[in-house]
């Protein structure tokens, strides 16, 4: 896993500012007030910060904006990052500021003069998240920004370093989970096969997560005909991975997280066009988020019962591949007429959702999937689509998403949409036509959810990976959902 930059907390000692190598960050309020750290930088630079606040451009700065002073005279640092932040900045502004610092940091060491921040945790997590770089496949001389020197640490200088560190620790554990998700999503499909994915999931055992890998013979015995049909054209064997973290109230029903793990989606016999097909390495994004959340919960030792189940398959055309027109039988027993082999994610999820309910009787269930291109048409890359059979659970999730700055928006469901899935020859078809494509996909899943299981489906097709950078991530995998789901657990499923 890509390692987050090392973070250390230390007692305020402004005598160290002049000699600090790399970058130094100081804070200034929108009305130009400086704390002791900023005043020290101002003094060392012979009033550069004061001059900046007097310049006309400063009035246009927004909370969280950063102005960089390069190669400041009077200091050893290569740059000073001056962060414009009000005294009682909210989480969103702290994240924005942290992200700007994390992006500017690159591989340089960064000293944050965090004296005026009451709670640096949010800013620190954001800096760490934005400093992510997926460079495992760059050899030293190949890329323009390839550089295999280890990144310098992030040092937070503040009043009560022990307290600040304790408060930041859970957020840093969650950042590790986000990095795991991003690595999985960024990884190409020749590396991240179903077998390699399962191996990486087994890595969670080191944190105390119980992991089981169900192989094809076991899936056949369980009757997972829908999931197995999708994977049958591939040389990579289909698998279901089960992760269990049970450190909540004894015997309390768990929260179940289910993920679509299509390691590559060619579309199968209903082959996708060539343009952008390479993006389908991210079609395991749902499974990536589930794995990242399990890592986060274990790394921060959450007192909760959570199980994660992911269906790992590859959707390939071949002589053995399933075809349009095939009728497959799901574990539930319902039959599905396959109209389009590219609508494969729902077939995978149908069996994993059913298995999760049969085996764990979860208190609630959340599935995540890069399920439909239509989701990107509807909400773009800003927000994931949420679909639910339970308003309370959905509200709780949307709040967790909002609190962590991860956008989500609820879309409707209903019988009229479900009707579109009627088949002439089987219990249902796997596509409902062009209209409301994301909703009919959700309706398909709903057929595999029992009425007494509160459930949300998150279609993350637009947010799992983006072609431009986001606040907290460079271009590529975002890790969307790890922080929101971690927060959902913290707010609603933890004891004590
Ligand atoms: N993995 C795709 C959805 C997708 C598209 C995710 C673009 C991310 C970016 C999914 O398996 C798929 O192919 N869906 C089809 C469904 C259709 C055949 C009903 C789609 O959206 O076109
Ligand atoms: Mn597909
Ligand atoms: Zn897919």
Please write the tens of the pLDDT for every residue from 286-323. Answer: 999 999 999 999 999 999 999 999 999 999 999 999 99
Q: Which of 341, 342, 467 to mutate to test the pocket of ligand 1 (most atoms within 8 A of CB)?
A: 342
Which residues contact ligand 1 via a Cβ below 6 A?
Answer: 265, 283, 340, 342-345, 370-374, 431, 437, 461
Q: Are 66 and 82 in contact (CB under 8 A)?
A: yes
DSSP, residue by residue, 339-380: S-TT--HHHHHHHHHHHHHHHH--SEEEEEE---HHHHHHHT
- Which one-letter DSSP state was computed for residue 23? E
Phi, psi angle pair for 66, to nearest 5°: -125, 135
Mutate to test the pocket of ligand 1, among 284, 435, 461 (most ligand atoms within 8 A of CB): 461
Q: What pLDDT does residue 150 have?
A: 87
Place of tokens 């200034």: 28
Write out the two tokens for 257. 């997280």
> What average pLDDT does this structure show over 269-297?
99
Most ligand 1 atoms within 8 A of CB, residue of 343, 379, 440 to mutate: 343
Q: Cα(331) to centroid of ligand 1, in Å? A: 23
* Distance between CA atoms of residues 456 and 306, nearest Å: 15
Has residue 142 got a pLDDT over 60?
no
In angstroms, the CA 455 to CA 366 distance is 6
Q: What is the mean pLDDT of residues 106-113?
A: 97
Q: Which ligand minimizes its atom distance to the CA of 429?
A: 1
Task: Please name the residues in contact with 423: beta carbons below 8 A apart, sequence gap of 6 or more.
Answer: 336, 337, 429
As given in the structure block, the two tokens for residue 221 are 């015995």
- d(C-alpha 176, C-alpha 485), whole Å: 14
Band of pLDDT at residue 140, cut at 50, 70 and 90: confident
CA of 344 to the centre of ligand 3 (A): 6
Instruction: Give the position, in ligand 1's atom list, of the atom nearest the Cα of 370.
Output: 6
Residue 146 binned pLDDT confidence (cut-offs 50, 70, 90)? low
Alpha-carbon dihedral sign for residues 265, 267, 269, 272: negative
pLDDT level of residue 149 (50, 70, 90 thresholds): confident
Tell me the DSSP string of 47-64: SHHHHHHHSGGGGG--TT
The neighbouring-strand residues paired with 241 are 213, 310
Residue 143: pLDDT above 60?
A: no
**Could you tell me if 231 and 238 are in contact, meaning their C-beta atoms sit under 8 angstroms apart?**
yes
Determine the pLDDT at residue 496. Answer: 75
Among 446, 436, 471, 457, smallest CA distance to 385 is for 457
CA distance 423 to 6: 56
- Domains of the chain, first to last: 7-159 (3.40.220.10), 174-492 (3.40.630.10)
CA distance 308 to 366: 10
Region 117-144: what's the mean pLDDT? Answer: 89
- Give catalytic residues, as residue numbers: 272, 346
Q: Across the chain, what does the average pLDDT equal? A: 97
Residues paired with residue 8 on neighbouring β-strands, in sequence order = 155
Tens of pLDDT, residue by residue over 383-418, are 999 999 999 999 999 999 999 999 999 999 999 999
CB 413 within 8 A of CB 387: yes
Position 148 scores a pLDDT of 67
* Long-range contacts, stretch 67-72, CB < 8 angstroms, 24+ apart: 68/104, 69/45, 72/41, 72/44, 72/45, 72/48
Ion ligand 3: protein residues whose beta carbon lies under 5 Å: 262, 265, 283, 345
Residues, beta carbon < 5 Å, ion ligand 2: 265, 342, 344
What are the tens digits of pLDDT across the range 37-82?
Answer: 999 999 999 999 999 999 999 999 999 999 999 999 999 999 999 9
Tell whether the torsion through CA atoms of 252, 480, 162 and 492 is positive or negative: negative
Q: How far is the CA of 225 from the centre of ligand 3 (A)?
A: 17
């Amino acid at each position: 896993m890509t390692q987050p930059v090392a973070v250390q907390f230390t007692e305020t000692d402004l005598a160290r500012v002049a000699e600090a190598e790399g970058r130094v960050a100081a804070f200034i309020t929108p009305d130009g007030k400086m704390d002791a750290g900023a005043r020290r930088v101002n003094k060392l630079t012979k009033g550069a910060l004061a001059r900046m606040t007097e310049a006309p451009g400063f009035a246009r700065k927004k909370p969280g904006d950063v102005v960089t002073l390069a190669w400041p005279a009077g200091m050893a640092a290569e740059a000073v990052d001056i962060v414009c932040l009000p005294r009682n900045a909210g989480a969103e502004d702290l994240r924005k500021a942290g992200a700007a610092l994390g992006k500017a940091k690159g591989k340089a060491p960064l000293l944050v003069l965090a004296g005026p921040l009451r709670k640096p945790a949010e800013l620190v997590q954001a800096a760490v998240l934005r400093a992510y770089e997926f460079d495992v496949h760059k050899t030293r001389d190949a890329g323009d920004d390839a550089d295999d020197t280890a990144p310098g640490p992030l040092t937070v200088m503040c009043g009560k370093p022990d307290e600040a560190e304790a408060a930041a620790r859970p957020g840093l554990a969650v950042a590790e989970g986000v990095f795991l998700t991003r690595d999985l999503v960024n990884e190409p499909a020749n590396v991240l096969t179903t077998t390699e994915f399962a191996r990486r999931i087994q890595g969670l055992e080191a944190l105390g997560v119980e992991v089981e890998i169900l192989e094809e013979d076991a899936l056949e015995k369980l009757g997972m005909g829908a999931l197995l049909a999708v994977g049958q054209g591939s040389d990579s064997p289909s698998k279901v991975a089960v992760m269990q973290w049970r450190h909540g109230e004894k015997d309390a029903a768990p929260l179940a997280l289910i993920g679509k793990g299509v390691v590559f989606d060619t579309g199968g016999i209903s082959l996708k066009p060539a343009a952008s097909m390479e993006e389908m390495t991210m079609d395991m994004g749902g499974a990536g988020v589930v794995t990242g959340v399990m890592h986060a919960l274990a790394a921060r030792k959450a007192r909760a019962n959570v199980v994660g189940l992911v269906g790992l398959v590859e959707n390939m055309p071949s002589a053995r591949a399933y075809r349009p027109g095939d009728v497959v039988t799901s574990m539930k027993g319902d039959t599905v007429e396959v109209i389009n082999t590219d609508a494969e994610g729902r077939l995978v999820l149908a069996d994993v959702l059913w298995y999760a309910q049969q085996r764990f009787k979860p208190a609630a269930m959340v599935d995540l999937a890069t399920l439909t291109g239509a989701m990107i048409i509807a909400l773009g890359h800003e927000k994931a689509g949420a679909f639910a059979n339970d308003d309370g659970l959905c509200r709780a999730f949307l709040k967790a998403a909002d609190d962590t700055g991860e956008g989500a928006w609820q879309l409707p469901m209903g019988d009229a949409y479900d009707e579109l899935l009627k088949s002439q020859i089987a219990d249902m078809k796997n596509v409902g036509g062009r209209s409301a494509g994301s909703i009919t996909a959700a309706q398909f899943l709903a057929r595999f959810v029992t009425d007494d299981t509160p459930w949300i489906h998150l279609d993350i097709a637009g947010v799992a990976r983006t072609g431009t950078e986001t606040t907290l991530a460079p271009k590529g995998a975002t890790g969307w959902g790890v922080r929101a789901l971690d927060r959902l657990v913290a707010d609603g499923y933890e004891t004590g």
